């Protein structure tokens, strides 16, 4: 607890009305005026604290935005020094072939070989230059119930 808060609490704790806290006591008109005077200072402090908290949140938001910008900047340059960029083309092609599924699957954009062409322009050009990568096709025939002949 801060010293300002402890001072306020000590002032309210010494009030003759403190004995009535957490009871069903109904204050008189004079006591209502006294209570309003008693809580005026703490109410102002609460509003000041709310303003300070809002300023801190605004500053925090600003710092987070700056951090995100810096991280994006760093990552864009870090990508330039990625070791995968220095792999020889034949190694990349071998890796692409190793990524192909062992089963006959429907070609989807979420797995090799189509996914490999979505990484970057160089990988797309590499994938398209490899006939073996796209040489297998698997077509799934629809179930018989779909094309059931109409009955007369």
Mean pLDDT by 10 residues, the chain (152 residues): 65 80 92 93 96 98 98 95 91 88 70 82 88 72 62 62
Sign of CA dihedral 32, 34, 37, 42: negative
Q: Judge contact between 98 and 133, C-beta under 8 A.
A: no
How much is the pLDDT for 112?
A: 77
pTM of structure: 0.52
What was the pLDDT predicted at 59? 99
Q: What was the pLDDT predicted at 56?
A: 99
């Amino acid at each position: 607890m801060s010293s300002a808060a402890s001072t306020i609490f000590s002032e309210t704790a010494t009030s003759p009305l403190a004995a009535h806290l957490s009871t069903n006591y109904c204050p008189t008109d004079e006591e209502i005026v006294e209570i309003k005077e008693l809580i005026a200072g703490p109410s102002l402090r609460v509003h000041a604290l709310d303003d300070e908290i809002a300023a801190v949140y605004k500053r925090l938001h600003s710092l987070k935005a700056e951090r995100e910008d810096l991280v994006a900047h760093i990552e864009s340059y870090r990508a330039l020094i990625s070791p995968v960029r220095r792999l020889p083309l034949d190694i990349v092609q071998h890796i692409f072939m190793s990524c192909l599924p062992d089963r006959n699957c429907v070609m989807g954009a979420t797995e090799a070989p189509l996914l490999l062409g979505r990484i970057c322009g160089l990988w797309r050009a590499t994938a398209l230059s490899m006939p073996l990568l796209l040489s297998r096709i698997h077509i799934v025939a629809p179930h018989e119930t779909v094309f059931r002949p109409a009955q007369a």
